[in-house]
Every structure is written in structure tokens, then in C-alpha cells.
Amino acid sequence: MLLGAHVSIAGGLHEAPKAGKWIGCDAIQIFSRSPRMLRYTKPITEGDVRLWQEALRENGIKAAVIHTNYLINLCSPLKRMVKVARDAFVEEMERAQALGVQLLIFHPGAHMGKGEEKGLKLVAESLDACIERANAPDVVLCIENMAGQGSTIGYKLEHLRKIMDLSKHPERLAVCLDSCHLFAAGYDIRTRDGYETVMSRVGEAIGFDRVRAFHLNDSKGPVNSRVDRHEHIGKGKLKEDTFRFLVNDARFATCPAVLETPGEDPEFRRNLKLLRRLVKP
């Protein structure tokens, strides 16, 4: 795994790789725009791209991924909101393309009472519409598995499979696995046996080649709690063993794997040190 953390773009995109280096990252995750607003954002200029790519190089960052805006709900039952979501998603794709970032990680969304089947179908339709509209041919869309809070879909591996099956462009889709979300959704990865059982289900439902990125978070909530609350590595319900299994899993050796634990850069640095200690030489 290429280990790292989610870093801030406050002060400009080019600040993120610097923060990444200070934390000790091989990989970083960023928001390419404010994660909590859907309104118009400043376009990315050629100057921004140059500074960003220089900063990646200078700071030794081997992989960068982008997480989309949290407010995008590709399966909202409100027609107007689906349109807003798709417009924002297309913009996210084009920003990723401009920055030379291949992996765009997103949440499938919440059906808000309309049912999971309808939600999954609408997500696939939204993805197809965005893929066909965006000028972003190199961007791979990574569906993130969810904890299953409220009416969010994507908390079962089969949901992720279903979205890929329903899409007309499955070759443009991949998966990002979040350890906290897996556990909160009922996938018990605390022991070696549990981990291998869950991973064989990942292999069957999704295929290891389609798992392209990871979020490494411990979980405040117990197994199957459907609670999405991240905790520092080793301080939550998962303990260190799960992360030892993950960081040493040869199937995921080339995947960027970023922390989204609480706190700021000093806490990320501590968590990342711990993860690196777990890597077997």
C-alpha cells in the first residue's frame, strides 16, 4: 500500500503535497474544492496545475486521489437535486482530469426513503450521464463502501457490484474500501479469519483488480452499528491487527491508502507512524 492521509488544500492545491510530506505520506487525498458547498468554484488554471504537479514531485508524493464533495447525492429522489449533483460531479471529474489525478472517490448517495433498488439504479444512471458528459477520459470513478447510516446505499459489497453491473461504462468504475465503514456495516475484520473471509467476499463480489484505493480508519462504533464515526488507528473497536492485515496484504500493494482519522496534521503523522510500524519488512 502507498500509505498517506487526507490533506488540506487551504492556501492552494500546491500546499497539499507539502503537508503530505510533513506527515510522511507516499499518497495523499484532497478535496479539489470546498467539500461542503455545491455552488460555483474557481476554475483550475494552467498555473494551478503546474504548481500542483511541481509540488507533488518536490515532496515525493507518489499518488494523489481526490474525494468528491460530500453534498453530491447521485440518487436523490428530487429531480432538481439530481441535476445539481450531476453538474457538480461532472465538474469534479473535469478537475481531476485537469490535475492529472486518476482516482476520484465518491459516496454512492442516499435514497431518502425511495428504497435501495431504486437508489442503486439511479446512481448507475447518474454515473453514466456524467461519464458521457464530462471531458475526463482518464478518470476512474471509485465507489466508496459506506457504513450504512440513515438511507445511504453502498454499505453492502453487493451494492457496489450492482452499481457496476447496472452501468453502461463499468470499465470506468472501481472501488475504494474504507475499513471503518466495512466494520460498521457488519464486515468483521478484527481477526485473521474474519479478515480473510471478508476479503474473499470482496474478491467474489468486486474482484481484487477493481479495488483501487483504501481509507484506513479505526471505528468508534461497534461491528454492524451502521455508525460512521472514525477513530485513531488502534484506539477504536478495530485495534491494530486489522491494519496489520491490510498494510501487508500483497493484493493491495499498489493501492493508495489514506487516513481520514480525527484531528489535524500532527495526529495524522502519529497515526501514519503507527501504520508504518505494522508493515512487515
Q: Between residue 160 and residue 219, which ones bind Zn ion under the rule CB under 5 A?
A: none
What's the sign of the alpha-carbon dihedral 142, 146, 150, 151? positive
Measured from the CB of residue 1, what is the shortest distance to Zn ion in angstroms? Answer: 17
Does the footprint of Zn ion cover residue 228 (CB under 5 A)?
Answer: yes
Q: Between residue 143 and residue 162, which ones bind Zn ion under the rule CB under 5 A?
A: 144
| Catalytic annotation present for 36 | yes
Measured from the CB of residue 136, what is the shortest distance to Zn ion in angstroms? Answer: 19
> Which range in 39-47, 91-99, 124-132, 140-148 contacts Zn ion by CB under 5 A?
140-148
Cα gap 201→157, rounded to integer Å: 8
Measured from the CB of residue 187, what is the shortest distance to Zn ion in angstroms? Answer: 14
Query: Which region, left, alpha or beta, applies to residue 126 given φ > 0 means left and ψ of -120 to 50 means alpha?
Result: alpha
| Catalytic annotation present for 14 | no
Measured from the CB of residue 229, what is the shortest distance to Zn ion in angstroms? Answer: 8
Identify the CA nearest to 182 among candidates 213, 219, 153, 151: 219
| Catalytic annotation present for 277 | no
The burial of 162, by beta-carbon neighbours within 10 Å (0-12 exposed, 13-18 middle, 19 or more buried), is given as buried
* CB 129, CB 167: distance < 8 Å: no
Does the footprint of Zn ion cover residue 26 (CB under 5 A)?
Answer: no
Q: Which is nearer to Zn ion, 124 or 177 (CB)?
A: 177
Does the footprint of Zn ion cover residue 92 (CB under 5 A)?
Answer: no
Q: Which is nearer to Zn ion, 48 or 271 (CB)?
A: 271
Letters for 229-268 (x = contact with Zn ion by CB under 5 A, - = none) are: ----------------------------------------
Q: Which is nearer to Zn ion, 55 or 68 (CB)?
A: 68
Pinpoint the alpha helices (H) of 9-152: 15-23, 46-58, 79-99, 116-133
Cα gap 243→241, rounded to integer Å: 5
Question: Which grid coordinates belong to 113?
Answer: 426513503
| Catalytic annotation present for 155 | no
Does the footprint of Zn ion cover residue 48 (CB under 5 A)?
Answer: no
Question: What is 237-254 written as a DSSP string?
Answer: SSHHHHHHHHHT-GGGTT
Residues marked active site are found at 36, 67, 70, 107, 144, 178, 181, 215, 228, 230, 260
Site residues, Zn ion (CB under 5 A)? 144, 228
